């Protein structure tokens, strides 16, 4: 049992600014349902700080977490634009195209782009 996966928000990112983000895959132990979520915050100096916060929260809900990579998000709420770029030294580069699809579910009226640029 445990709470439905739907109880986990697809995206939790800061409302403004440029910050690190990670793409995390949630899975029920032994296979079954899985989904990817995006987490990012300026409070995290390193990508693993984000994972270290998400992982115990998700374990409580009965999920195994795997970090699929990271990068940066530039969130401009005034212009309704999000740019996904960069990479994580520790986790490698997330598939930003996947991240963009997840962001589009939540920020439906935004212009969301990605690139492999470092800055």
Tell me the pLDDT tens digit for each residue of 8-34. 999 999 999 999 999 999 998 887 789
- What span, in angstroms and rounded, lies between the C-alpha atoms of 59 and 72? 25
Q: Is 20 annotated as a binding residue?
A: yes
| Residues involved in catalysis | 47
Tell me the pLDDT tens digit for each residue of 69-79. 999 999 999 99
Architecture of the domain defined by 5-115 = 3-Layer(bba) Sandwich (3.50)
Q: What is the pTM of this model?
A: 0.93
Domain boundaries, the chain: 5-115
């Amino acid at each position: 049992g445990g709470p439905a996966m739907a109880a986990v928000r697809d995206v939790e990112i800061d409302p403004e600014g440029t910050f690190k983000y990670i793409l995390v895959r949630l899975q029920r132990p032994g296979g079954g349902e899985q989904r990817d979520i995006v987490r990012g915050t300026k409070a995290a100096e390193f990508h693993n700080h984000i994972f270290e916060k998400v992982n115990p929260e998700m374990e409580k809900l009965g999920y195994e977490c795997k970090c699929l990579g990271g990068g940066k998000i530039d969130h401009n709420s005034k212009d309704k634009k999000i740019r996904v770029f960069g990479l994580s030294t520790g986790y490698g580069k997330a598939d930003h195209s996947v991240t963009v699809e997840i962001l589009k579910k939540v920020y439906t009226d935004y212009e969301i782009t990605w690139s492999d640029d470092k800055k």
